[in-house]
Amino acid sequence: MFGRLTRWRNAWFESRHPFPEADWREARARLPLLAAVPEPAASRLGHRAWRFAHAKRLSRHPALADALSLDVADRLAIAAQACLLTLGWSEGEHRDAFANVHEILILPDAFQRRVEELDAFGVMHEYDDQRVGETSHQGPVVVAYPDLMASGGLDGFNVLIHELAHKLDMANSLDADGFPPLPGDIAPQDWHREFTAVWDDLQARLARGEATPIDDYAASHPGECFAVACEYFFTAPDVLHAAYPALYALLTRYFRQAPPWRHDAFPPS
């Protein structure tokens, strides 16, 4: 019953807003990440991104009026990177997962936030933190334009995926703690075990002065560990799999997809 209702709702939407095939082809041509998604998964992603782009506000700072047009292909490219995270989930699961996403706001450059942080000894530290993206439980997803332009490749970096991963993480709490709502087939202890193993390995490598196999920002906070892992899972899955195969396997279960994408594993829209 719910599947029929979803299909009817999607058909009704596209009868009023016909899917822009040419613009979707252009969006995929612009970004290697989107071009790497095979058919029919790419078609599924495009149609979901089209609905996402209409349901959410995609906006830019006025200073970007000349640099960023936000044409249809731009909007589809932004929305599709967000929707990659939920591509393996049903339409209802996708809507619920991003119910706390209302706006994606693009700023001209990185920005600073005054941060207060309590250390292990109870001492409060204040400092200015430069950020390329941020979000909060019900706040907008904010990204810096240069880093948005640097996203979309197959290199382990994607500011949109990073910040949208935080939104998934915040679905069961006000803060990103690295422990999002889990499907019934993943036990919380399994999630904790795998992420703890990665966290401990990153900390040990940094303590020894060694390079880390994924961005060492993952070692700064459990929530960042999850978000960085998501970036690698979608944009450099071979790197994540080689470094942390058990974590990669866990994320394939969580996202119900295994980049490069297995379209036959996806549920119907």
pLDDT digits (tens, 9 = 90+) for 1-59: 556 767 777 788 788 889 999 999 999 999 999 999 999 999 999 999 999 999 999 99
Least confident of 106-110, 117-121, 134-138, 257-261: 117-121
The Cα 211–Cα 218 span in angstroms is 13
pLDDT digits (tens, 9 = 90+) for 181-200: 999 999 999 999 999 999 99
pLDDT digits (tens, 9 = 90+) for 44-79: 999 999 999 999 999 999 999 888 889 999 999 999
This prediction's pTM: 0.89
- Radius of gyration of the chain from its Cα atoms, rounded to whole angstroms: 19
Strand partners of residue 112: 130
The Cα 188–Cα 10 span in angstroms is 34
pLDDT tops 80 at residue 115: no
Tell me which range, 41-55, 133-147, 254-268, is most confidently predicted by mean pLDDT. Answer: 41-55
Q: Which residues have C-beta within 8 Å of that of residue 230, sequence separation ≥ 6? A: 85, 161, 162, 165, 251
Please state, rounded to an integer, the average pLDDT across all residues of the chain. 90
Nearest to 116 by CA among 130, 108, 126: 126
The answer to whether 237 and 243 are in contact (CB under 8 A) is no
